[in-house]
Structure 1
Amino acid sequence: MKYLGMMMIVYFLHLMLKLNWIVTAIVLAIGMIAVLFWRKKDVLQKRQYQRFQETCLYLEMMFRAFLKSGKIDAALSDTAISVNPGPLKAILTEACDHIQLTFDESEVTADALEMIAKAYDCKRVKDLHDFMLRVEMTGGERREAIALMEEDENRWKMRIEDSIRDRKKSLREIVLSVIASLVICSCILYLPVMNLDISANIVTQTLSVVVIALDVLIIFGGAKFLNEDWIKLDAFSDEKRSTQRLNDYRNYDMSKGWRNSLLAGIPFMILSAICIILKHPWYGAFGLAVSFVVLNQHYIGQTLRRRQVQKEIRSAFPHWLVDLVLLLQTENVQVAIQKSTLHAPQILMTDLSRLEQELIVDPESARPYHHFLQDFQMPQISTAMSMLYALSMGNSGNAKGQLMNLVSNNYRALDEAEQVRLKDKCSGMYLLFLAPVLTASMKLIADMLMFLFAFMGQTG
């Protein structure tokens, strides 16, 4: 059916752009190849979206099942029975069989959960698995923590679905832009001036093929934005890279950076001075602007690095806080912090270890809490650490409830930041929406030149 539709589109282009039959055959070949690749992309898109839906279904059902039973094996069994036949049911059944039929391993449950995490490589799936394993190991009230994780999962699901809808809408706009550009290109071929017809010109025919091929590439470029692995499209980045970026920020030598910037900026300053002396003020002003940027490149780079690290810390902190609140149900603050380092995000490990050591030396002081990530001056972290100190001193009031509210507020702020990030991530689709204007302009200019030459030749 798609091939038949492509043949109809090519015939319409044959009539609209006055293509000869040889060129029409070339365009048809391009269209058939495009349909072949489009079918493969379509299958991939549907599978990626299906994996996203299966991941959401798994998370939602495991939240409820684990909240009800408090046992991983029972929750997995209930979820496997409830889902419809398909890839998700197959991997859940395999995990349940592994738990029930394996007797020679000590980490049977963890291995079964790892099987699911490999099939659905999503950070939220791994976080849920870590949370369930810790609850089975340490106990504690799980209702509030699960409610927070479920709230975060719902926001993530809505955010991704909104992004998918926006991208599909942008792709439709790109296709309409291509159609409009081709219609505009055909208009000049039907100008009723002295019965001139430039459509048979080899340049016009060749440019028609080039423009059609470029428009096909533009549409495929827009479709590429729908080939995302949706279950990985969240705020979490590679933890090793995040930790390395944090270390690079803290270990950066500003004095050495200033010297390097000065050495790089001196030539631009000299060139600017020469331009001004030779009475080329605009070149001199441009050189001064470049030298200003080069002289401050160390400061600019460090500022950008700081913002990126802050963003990654802001993403990791709520997940550590949820684990900590769970541990606080059975442990005091100092022991809960010590145990939380076993599963904390890697980017927080250095500061948590320092906090742990400072609390061993001075357990009743507020300084260790206030020193935690102090160099980044993030209000939500300062507030949480103040609450933890108050809780450790026994004068906290409803500090645990306040901490849970703080986690919820952090998740809400992360959701807003992620919506902006996803919009920025697909901003290239707007450029693709404008690209057909360039291809149409190229053909229009060439066709008008051909029309002008034909008109001048006919009028002598």
Structure 2
Amino acid sequence: MFNYKSPVQKKKVTKTKTEYLGNKKRQKKFTIQRVKRYLKLISFKNLNYRIQSFGYDYSLAKYITSIVLLMSIIVISGKIFHLKYEYIIPLALFALILLPIIVLSQIKFLYNNFRFEQITTYLQEMITIFKMNPKILYALKEVQDLFETKQGINQKIDEAIYHIEYGKSEDNSLVYAEALSILEEAYPCSRIKSLHSLLLSVENQNSVDYEASLNDLYDDIRCWIARTYDYQIQLKNTKFQFSLILLLTIFVSSAMTNILPSSMTGFINSSTYQITSTLLLGIFLAMFSFVQSKLNGQWLVNDIEKDDNRILKSIQYIEAFDKKKNFKDSCIKAALASILPFIGVMQKNSNMIFIGLLITVFMYFWGELQYKSHFKIVEREIKKTFPIWLRDITINMHNLIVTNAIRQSYTNAPTVLKYYLTGFLDEIEKDPITIRPYNNFLKKFYITDISSAMKSLYSIKQQSPEDSSRQISDIIIRNQGLMETSERIKNENQIAGMSLIGGVPMIAGCIKLTIDMVLMLGSFMSSIQMPV
């Protein structure tokens, strides 16, 4: 039996004033410490030390060049907006404060690309070498020699080799698992975990039929590499497009002051114009730094996410949801809220009637809206993680029967699937013959691709080894489409906010133009001499 245990629910305790003030004080202290640590990065020595932790060296000449380039952009932008020097100087200081973010973002992007290259080399070469000699220690030593640099994954491979050779444990298989976990912790990539799981299975069971599984995983890795390169290009394009939007907005926002004759631009000397222009450029600087820091491509490499509490909360909500109870509660809440429009009618207050009706309708549908929100979170997580779980099953089905492959996948299964696998595995034990458990798995979410994949797993279970081998290959091919969808969902999760942020500069530019027009009209009207 696989019994899922939900996390222990902590009792809600009302905080005392002393505890509340203590928490606020600690939070404030932590924030101050973070700000102090960041401000230290303005020093080249501290910044370079941080950059060196990523394996790169940032020379003083490059740092000075970055400062000169940034200051030139600030001065040019200030001149375009006709800013006075007393406003350009604070803007330049603000840019200097943000410079470490911009520099570190570029380094992190290069660092993540470097990690991706190392991971893909490790995965492909481990498979190739292990196929020739199915021994983990031998494969690790051979792969280590392929890396020229001693930094990064080479160091972790060295630690894993040392642990295998000198680690002590009553169970030899545990030593290998602990050694490979060193790499898995340093590189939280689902494909590394899948490969290691397969290698441990072959090593521990002395399996001889493993080449098909390795070939399937190798093909999956090649497809992943191609998709990741496309995503990296997309990231570069997104950064470039955002920078282009900022530049265009700057030129459009300043166009009026540069096109109009000097007789109509007297307002540019006003403090309102100077302050709003400085704020606009400051906002653009902050947004540019934010986008650069977020689009560093880390999620393309580290694809194992840990947000179990959020997922479990949503699962528990939809599983405990009772339509009848929700309908009753909604009616009660709506009835209570309907008192407001009734009072509005009695007082002949149209505003209260309108607001009261809105609140009444909202309270009636609130429970249903919450359910749909939690349902969508779980559904999206299932679509994102199911292909990864299916991949791990299929690469083990060459050596294991379907039900054993599914059972073996339980330990490393994503949280959202582990919850529903519990019931699925229990149902298989009670009904190991019919297709019913496979049809019932995730039936609540009505995802066609998942339903089709589960039926294929049942079909493989019923077939001969030769026929099942061909169908396993078909599942793997179809699963690549699901993997592409899964990775697109992850990618959208990361850059979805960037699309919304892309519209902010244009909105800010429109607001700035509106303010400038008002200032221009005010200046023009004040210059008109009224006849006596």
Give me the TM-score of the superposition, normalised by structure 1.
Answer: 0.84
**Matching of residue 408 in structure 1 with residue 481 in structure 2:** no
C-alpha distance in structure 2 between counterparts of 1:255 and 1:265, whole Å: 15
Q: Secondary structure at the match of 1:419?
A: helix
C-alpha distance in structure 1 between counterparts of 2:192 and 2:153, whole Å: 13
Q: CA RMSD in A?
A: 3.6
**Cα pair 1:99 1:109 within 8 Å, conserved:** yes
Q: Which residue of 1 aligns with 2:69?
A: 5
Q: Which residue of 2 aligns with 1:91?
A: 156
Q: Which residue of 1 aligns with 2:528?
A: 459
Q: Which residue of 2 aligns with 1:76?
A: 140
**Cα pair 1:95 1:116 within 8 Å, conserved:** yes
**Cα pair 1:52 1:230 within 8 Å, conserved:** no
C-alpha distance in structure 2 between counterparts of 1:362 and 1:27, whole Å: 70
Equivalent residue runs for 1:128-277 within 5 Å: 128-138=195-205, 139=207, 141-190=209-258, 191-192=260-261, 194=263, 197-231=266-300, 234=303, 238-239=307-308, 241-242=310-311, 245-269=314-338, 271=340
**Cα pair 1:65 1:78 within 8 Å, conserved:** yes
Q: Secondary structure at the match of 2:268?
A: coil
Q: CA 1:340–1:187 in structure 2 vs 1: closer, same or farther (change >3 Å)?
A: closer
Q: CA 1:276–1:428 in structure 2 vs 1: closer, same or farther (change >3 Å)?
A: farther
C-alpha distance in structure 2 between counterparts of 1:265 and 1:301, whole Å: 16
Q: Which residue of 1 aligns with 2:32?
A: none
**Cα pair 1:269 1:291 within 8 Å, conserved:** yes
Identity of aligned residues (%): 23
**Matching of residue 60 in structure 1 with residue 124 in structure 2:** yes
Q: Secondary structure at the match of 1:426?
A: helix
Q: Secondary structure at the match of 1:215?
A: helix
**Matching of residue 109 in structure 1 with residue 176 in structure 2:** yes
- Output one character per residue of 1:207-246: Cα deviation in whole Å (capped at 9) or x when no partner: 2222221221121232233235234664855456545543
Q: CA 1:442–1:408 in structure 2 vs 1: closer, same or farther (change >3 Å)?
A: same
**Cα pair 1:380 1:406 within 8 Å, conserved:** no
Q: Which amino acid aligns with 1:443?
A: K
**Matching of residue 38 in structure 1 with residue 105 in structure 2:** no
**Cα pair 1:6 1:31 within 8 Å, conserved:** yes
Cα distance, 1:80 vs. partner? 0.6
Give me the TM-score of the superposition, normalised by structure 2.
Answer: 0.74
Cα distance, 1:26 vs. partner? 2.7
**Cα pair 2:401 2:461 within 8 Å, conserved:** yes
Q: CA 1:230–1:369 in structure 2 vs 1: closer, same or farther (change >3 Å)?
A: closer
- Structure 1 stretch 343-352 or stretch 254-263: which is displaced more? 343-352
Cα distance, 1:113 vs. partner? 0.7
- Output one character per residue of 1:62-110: Cα deviation in whole Å (capped at 9) or x when no partner: 2322333222112211111112213222221222222223355632211
Larger RCO (CA within 8 A; separation ≥ 6): 1
Q: Secondary structure at the match of 1:296?
A: helix
- Structure 1 stretch 168-177 or stretch 324-333: which is displaced more? 324-333
C-alpha distance in structure 1 between counterparts of 2:519 and 2:371, whole Å: 55
Q: Which residue of 1 aligns with 2:115?
A: 51
C-alpha distance in structure 2 between counterparts of 1:196 and 1:387, whole Å: 73
**Cα pair 1:167 1:225 within 8 Å, conserved:** no
C-alpha distance in structure 2 between counterparts of 1:228 and 1:55, whole Å: 14
C-alpha distance in structure 2 between counterparts of 1:437 and 1:332, whole Å: 58
Q: Which amino acid aligns with 1:101?
A: Y
Q: Secondary structure at the match of 2:502?
A: helix
Q: CA 1:160–1:267 in structure 2 vs 1: closer, same or farther (change >3 Å)?
A: farther
Q: Which amino acid aligns with 1:187?
A: A
Cα distance, 1:339 vs. partner? 4.6
- Structure 1 stretch 165-174 or stretch 232-241: which is displaced more? 232-241
C-alpha distance in structure 2 between counterparts of 1:349 and 1:430, whole Å: 33
- Structure 1 stretch 161-170 or stretch 394-403: which is displaced more? 394-403
Q: Which amino acid aligns with 2:181?
A: E
Q: Which amino acid aligns with 1:93?
A: D
**Matching of residue 298 in structure 1 with residue 367 in structure 2:** yes
Q: Which residue of 1 aligns with 2:84?
A: 20
- Structure 1 stretch 324-333 or stretch 198-207: which is displaced more? 324-333
Cα distance, 1:385 vs. partner? 4.3
**Cα pair 1:123 1:232 within 8 Å, conserved:** no
C-alpha distance in structure 2 between counterparts of 1:448 and 1:307, whole Å: 45
C-alpha distance in structure 2 between counterparts of 1:24 and 1:336, whole Å: 65
Cα distance, 1:115 vs. partner? 1.1
C-alpha distance in structure 1 between counterparts of 2:449 and 2:208, whole Å: 25
Cα distance, 1:22 vs. partner? 2.5
Q: CA 1:39–1:255 in structure 2 vs 1: closer, same or farther (change >3 Å)?
A: same
C-alpha distance in structure 1 between counterparts of 2:397 and 2:335, whole Å: 57
Cα distance, 1:2 vs. partner? 1.4
Q: Secondary structure at the match of 2:267?
A: coil
Equivalent residue runs for 1:313-324 within 5 Å: 313-324=382-393
**Cα pair 2:387 2:483 within 8 Å, conserved:** no
Q: Which residue of 1 aligns with 2:517?
A: 448
**Cα pair 2:144 2:158 within 8 Å, conserved:** yes
C-alpha distance in structure 2 between counterparts of 1:346 and 1:38, whole Å: 35
Structure 2 regions of 5+ residues with no counterpart?
1-64
**Cα pair 2:273 2:516 within 8 Å, conserved:** yes
Match of 1:433 among 479, 489, 502: 502
C-alpha distance in structure 1 between counterparts of 2:138 and 2:514, whole Å: 70
Equivalenced residue count is 460
C-alpha distance in structure 1 between counterparts of 2:265 and 2:386, whole Å: 71
Cα distance, 1:384 vs. partner? 4.4
C-alpha distance in structure 2 between counterparts of 1:345 and 1:31, whole Å: 42
**Cα pair 2:333 2:364 within 8 Å, conserved:** yes
Q: Secondary structure at the match of 1:2?
A: helix
Q: Which amino acid aligns with 1:20?
A: K
